Amino acid sequence: MLHLSSWEIGPIFRAMTRNKVGAVLIALQVAVTMCIIVNAVHILMERTMQMARDSGIDEANSFYLSSTGFADDFNDQVVIQTDLDAIRALPGVIDAMQINAIPISGGGWSMGLQTQPGAEFEGVGTAVYMVDDHVLNTLDLELIAGEAFKPSDIRWRQRSQRDWPAEIIITRALAENLFPEQSYQDTVGKTLYINDDEPVIVKGIIDKLQAPWVGWERLENAMLSPEQTLFSSSTYFIRTEPGRLDELMPAVEQMLADSNKGRVVRGLRSMQETRDRTYRRDQAMIKILTTVMITLTLVTALGIVGLASFNVNRRRKQIGTRRALGASQVSVLRYFMLENFLISSMGVILGAVLTVGLNIYLVQSLGLTKLHWWLIPVGMLTLWLVGQLAVLGPARRAAATSPAIATRTV
Amino acid sequence: MFNYYLRLALLSIRRNPILSALMVAAIALGIGASMTTITVNYLMSSNPIPQKSDQLYYVQVDSWDPNEPAEEPNEPPEQLTWTDANNLYAAQKAQRQVIMATTAAVVEPPSQDAKPFNAYIRLTTNEFFPMFDVPFLYGGHWQASADKGREQVVVLSRKSNDKIFGGENSVGRSLRLAGRQFTVVGVLESWYPAPKFYDVGTGAFEEPEDLYIPFLLKEELQLPNGGNTNCWKTPEDDSFAGFLRSECINYQMWVELPEEQDKQAYLAFLNNYANEQKALGRFPRPLNNRLSDVMQWMENRQVVTDDARVMLWLSLMFLVVCLLNTVGLLLAKFSGKSAEIGLRRAIGASRQALFYQHLVETACIGLTGGIAGLALAYLGLLGIGSLYGSFADNLSSLDINMVLLALLLSLISSIAAGLYPTWRACSIAPASQLKSQ
Amino acid sequence: MLNMQNVTKIFRTDLVETRALSDFNLHVKEGEFVTVTGPSGSGKTTFLNIAGLLESFDDGVYDLDGENVRHLNDTQRSRLRNEKIGFIFQSFNLIPDLDLFDNVDVPLRYRGFNGSERKRRIERCLELVGLANRMKHLPAQLSGGQQQRVAIARALAGEPRFLLADEPTGNLDSKMAHSVMQLLKDINDEGTTIVMVTHDPSLAREAKRNIFVKDGKVSDVTHISASAPEPIASISASGARHV
Ligand SMILES: Nc1ncnc2c1ncn2[C@@H]1O[C@H](COP(=O)(O)OP(=O)(O)OP(=O)(O)O)[C@@H](O)[C@H]1O
Ligand SMILES: [Mg+2]
């Protein structure tokens, strides 16, 4: 620190230019490593953020299963009512209902809603959940405007039936999509058109509910339609008290299977599992990228350690001579750290260019989003740090070189 | 001479164990990572039916909304309507053609102790099996008459035959399906095309269906829709028949056209058909009919996921880092040997001899790294398998091609990495190292 | 200037204990030129290393310029080496990656001189040894004698009061050796104290005093009458002509 002249930047640099290849190799390694790491972190953050989006329902304590009748005397309507009554009566169950599709599961029903009738107007896409009056409690939704469904609102829907109930509940996001200029509260009571010209009235607004398709750009557009379905299969959605899920899942399955032999009970799955399956690829990608980043950093660091150790050995005599000429241990340490810093600097500058280049390529050809600019300085800093840490060991060994080497070695 | 070089190489590797281990590790990691992702990409993009992939065509006709295309930019819809599927099939204009859809129904096995279960079913026509070279274990496919007569016949996958009939030859036996009595006419061999090219709508690497039944039974038994259903227009009435008659798409069609002129003729037929339909008031969009062969269709459906491509890119760059690393370490190692090289040169070794000597050493390190990399790739694929679950089951196996590629890649890349250091080491002048520095 | 009393140095390895110096006594006055001779392995280099603070010792007293150096820490010793002592090695020890300018620059950097001061000194010292015109050359491009002269320039650049040389002419022919010797004598005449280890009796005789080391002890001291020094210019010129 005493004198700037003892920092030897000039001589280090000139010595390096006589030994270009080694320095260039490390710089290139640092550059490519930075390019990979920054882009990987970017992808990682993108995925983590997607996965962190709230579905709006009580995922931790919910599960569902399906029942498919096959016996000739199977009466859907009766069975569904009996099933739901029985499930709701179970201790530990908060509420239960029939539903046509499961949020974030990947499969569901969508429709277009428009504010004016007529095929020529474009609709706003929305997920459709067919539910009964237990929906708010079962899905743990909050009604933020208007009214909830009453038992008398619920109708039965036949398999190929095309018309829609008179009133629906929509999510706040959908309300704001349909009427961008108005506050969502004012949407209550408005008439919307489904199937181009069939009117439905907005009865209420819920805070949040995700559609089944997590990759959809309008993920929070969802509507609740007050009806129970008489399709070939019925899916029951059940919310339990906290901590009772594991015990209730097999219990409900068993109860349904035992209560009626003329059907198949299948597809028992918790919401947690559904989430895991839906985001499995993202989760996998995150793990793979993390592994790649760690091993890559390790490889680069080991490369630096290897090359630096080698250089220290090769320069033992030179180090001894420097020590004999008055270099303190700190000066020797500083020499190697500074040398690495200069090489890393070239690396990270090139790395910044490569990083942006790869990101542009990924944006254009694979539809990734643009990099946050601050990731680049953070990446540069990280690689500087990795380099300094990697070179610390060899540099300390160099500093410990005895000045007597100067006269002892040939 | 080669043996001598080999001995020298091993000696030299043993003299610098840490440096050598670092190099082997770097190559192994690079090869391991890139082989893992190359394998995944290779399997994703592999041709599931190479013997006739260029004779099988997926059929698309544009029956969509006049106001907007089914998919941007002006793509025809991915699937067909019930009406078009049946019309095109009935025309029998290709050498072979098949129309199909998926559905699900409850199977009640004949034996009392086997429980009823919900089966995934492919509705299809009889030529599905010969057209896609589907192998049979017992029996065979149903006849065209069964399609027309809506006969209740069924072909079982090997797995469901194991489940329902304990794996015996079940041809001629019956089972209850969707509340009706069906007769088994055939049982398939294990058949897992990857990608599941004939229908990638619900995932390109899913397992094939459990059962296969004649297509028209959909109407007969009012079977529900599987896969994706998309409509641009509401059905005209509430009945099941009304739904089938609608403009909703849920059906796929493949045709077999051996020659280019067959393809041209079929395309002409499709255009002609579209014009007929226009006359009937359907097909409001401009003519936009398409035939895609298997690999084109896989490309169109983006069977190789973007994630796999990103990983491939990143891992190739990873390999570059590992190779740079190796170059640096080799350079260090060989420059440490410059005294020995100078001496050998002074004694009379030719530059060429020294070059070979060091190349052998490099190749040894490269091959060791490659083999270790192969082991890592195997672990990597196991890892990918466990991370992705069933999706990757068909995607994470190393075949002999991949093993050879890995070895070749490691050898080539390590020699490429070793070339410069070797050349540098060997261009040392014989005298320079004898002179005191 | 240099005062050693009963200095003892023992090298311990797993197998043997070597008494490289035992009860070594020597006093060197300011401005003296002392040559050290003795059989191989007698402890000459060890003595020089201790004198130059490159090595520590086990027992005894060593005063350098009136300062007891026994308990100085590494940084203080480095500082002393840098400021008071100049080193010349048998195998020159030039740094191969640096050109002559940067080589001479090395100790000046540690001294903390500013750029213009360093430049002035480097140029003057290279001038002194007759290699000013080859400032940008690498050591590998010089002959042994030239390399040793660069090493001398490097040792002189910090204007040390005390110059230590371990067989500086060991790798040179006798003509070159004598020209280097002459250079050292000229430096000595300017007031720098010099201690030089050598195997060459003819060189040893040119100093003012010669000590003979045997078995780690000073066994004999010879005082030599001063001979008339030759002018520096002729030596540098002869060195330059040698190129
Ligand atoms: N690092 C060491 N470890 C062990 N013994 C050592 C070490 N350095 C020197 N010695 C021993 O100390 C003794 C003195 O060595 P020194 O190098 O001082 O001899 P020298 O008089 O310089 O000999 P030469 O004229 O051959 O250079 C020798 O016996 C030597 O083997
Ligand atoms: Mg000696």
Total number of domains constituting chain B? 2
Domain that holds residue B96: 56-300
Which positions ≥6 away from C124 have C-beta within 8 Å?
none
Is residue B74, in this structure, part of any structural domain at all? yes
Return d(Cα A328, Cα C113) in angstroms, integer.
16
Assess whether B22 and B111 both reside in one domain: no
Alpha helices in C10-167 (DSSP H): 44-51, 74-84, 100-111, 115-128, 144-157
pLDDT of C243: 28
Assess whether B230 and B264 both reside in one domain: yes
Provide the whole-model pTM: 0.81
Assess whether B272 and B144 both reside in one domain: yes
Measured in residues, chain C has a length of 243
- Residue A222 phi/psi, 5° resolution? -145, 150
Is residue B417, in this structure, part of any structural domain at all? yes
CB contact under 8 A, B436 and C171: yes
Assess whether B33 and B12 both reside in one domain: yes
pLDDT of B390: 61
Which positions ≥6 away from B220 have C-beta within 8 Å?
B150
Give the residue, C236 or B148, on which the prediction is more confident. Answer: B148
Is residue B87, in this structure, part of any structural domain at all? yes
Q: What is the whole-number distance in angstroms between the Cα of residue C152 and the centre of ligand 2?
A: 18
- Residues in chain A with CB shorter than 8 Å from the CB of C154 are 325
Residue with CA at minimum distance from ligand 1 atom 13: C20
- Sorted by where each begins, the domain ranges of chain A are 4-52+280-407, 107-229
Ranges assigned E (strand) in A188-241: 191-194, 198-206, 222-229, 233-240
End residue of a domain, out of B252, B272, B300: B300
Determine how many CB atoms are found less than 10 A away from the CB of residue C140: 12
End residue of a domain, out of B249, B265, B300: B300
Q: What is the 3-state secondary structure (H, E, C) of B146-183?
A: HHHCCCCEEEECHHHHHHHHCCCCCCCCEEEECCEEEE
Assess whether B281 and B322 both reside in one domain: no
Is residue B319, in this structure, part of any structural domain at all? yes
Q: Which amino acid is at B264?
A: Q
**Given pLDDT bands bounded at 50, 70 and 90, which one contains residue A380?**
very high
Assess whether B170 and B85 both reside in one domain: yes
Q: Tell which one of C11, C47, C195 to mutate to probe ligand 1, the residue whose CB is within 8 A of the most ligand atoms.
A: C11
Assess whether B245 and B372 both reside in one domain: no
β-pair type (B96-108, B117-124): antiparallel
How close C148 comes to chain B (CA, Å)?
Answer: 12
Q: Which amino acid is at B147?
A: D
Alpha helices in C100-166 (DSSP H): 100-111, 115-128, 144-157
pLDDT of C225: 59
Q: Which domains does chain C have, with CATH numbers?
A: 2-242 (3.40.50.300)
Q: What is the whole-number distance in angstroms between the Cα of residue C217 and the centre of ligand 1?
A: 13
End residue of a domain, out of B248, B283, B300: B300
Helix (H, G, I), strand (E, B) or coil at C220: strand
pLDDT of B432: 53
**Which ipTM was obtained for this model?**
0.85
Is residue B51, in this structure, part of any structural domain at all? no
Return d(Cα C95, Cα C111) in angstroms, integer.
18
Q: How far is CA A59 from the centre of its chain?
A: 16
CB contact under 8 A, A299 and B310: no
Helix (H, G, I), strand (E, B) or coil at B432: coil
Assess whether B413 and B368 both reside in one domain: yes
Helix (H, G, I), strand (E, B) or coil at A67: strand
Our answer on whether the CB atom of C14 is closer than 6 Å to any ligand 1 atom is no
Q: Tell me the pLDDT tens digit for each residue of A151-189.
A: 999 999 988 788 899 999 999 999 999 999 999 999 999
pLDDT of B410: 74
- Residues in chain C with CB shorter than 8 Å from the CB of A408 are 45
Q: Which residue has the tokens 């058109």?
A: A193
Assess whether B380 and B233 both reside in one domain: no
Mean pLDDT per 10-residue segment, chain B (437 residues): 82 82 88 84 83 94 88 89 96 95 91 85 96 95 95 95 92 92 95 89 85 96 87 83 90 95 95 94 92 92 83 86 87 78 77 83 85 87 77 65 79 80 75 47
**Given pLDDT bands bounded at 50, 70 and 90, which one contains residue A5?**
low
Assess whether B252 and B377 both reside in one domain: no
Determine how many CB atoms are found less than 10 A away from the CB of residue A273: 12
- Residues in chain B with CB shorter than 8 Å from the CB of C140 are 432, 437
Assess whether B257 and B201 both reside in one domain: yes
CB contact under 8 A, C96 and B437: yes
Is residue B118, in this structure, part of any structural domain at all? yes
Is residue B175, in this structure, part of any structural domain at all? yes
Listed residues: CB within 5 A of ion ligand 2? C 45
Return d(Cα A6, Cα A331) in angstroms, integer.
8
Our answer on whether the CB atom of C20 is closer than 6 Å to any ligand 1 atom is yes
Assess whether B22 and B99 both reside in one domain: no
For the cut 90, the answer to whether the pLDDT of residue C47 exceeds it is yes
